[in-house]
Amino acid sequence: MKKELYLGLDVHKETIITATAEAGRQGEVGRQIGKSGSVCAC
């Protein structure tokens, strides 16, 4: 059986936060997997 996993990015001027969510009503939602400094060439 194939599983779907969604990756979300919360991008701000100072940081980028990554999180995952599993597909479906019973899937786990909003598990934060990382935080890093922004790489902005502004």
Asked if residue 42 belongs to a domain, the reply is: no
Asked if residue 12 belongs to a domain, the reply is: yes
Asked if residue 28 belongs to a domain, the reply is: yes
Interval 1-40: pLDDT, tens? 777 888 888 888 788 888 888 887 776 666 667 777 766 5
What is the total count of domains within the chain? 1
Rounded to whole angstroms, the Cα distance separating 19 from 2 reads: 20
pLDDT > 70? residue 42: no
Q: Can you give the pLDDT at residue 2?
A: 79
Asked if residue 32 belongs to a domain, the reply is: yes
Rounded to whole angstroms, the Cα distance separating 41 from 13 reads: 11
Asked if residue 41 belongs to a domain, the reply is: no
Enter the pTM of the model: 0.55
**CA angle, corner 40, sides to 38 and 42, nearest 5?**
145
Tokens found for residue 33: 């997997």
Strands 5-11 and 15-22: antiparallel
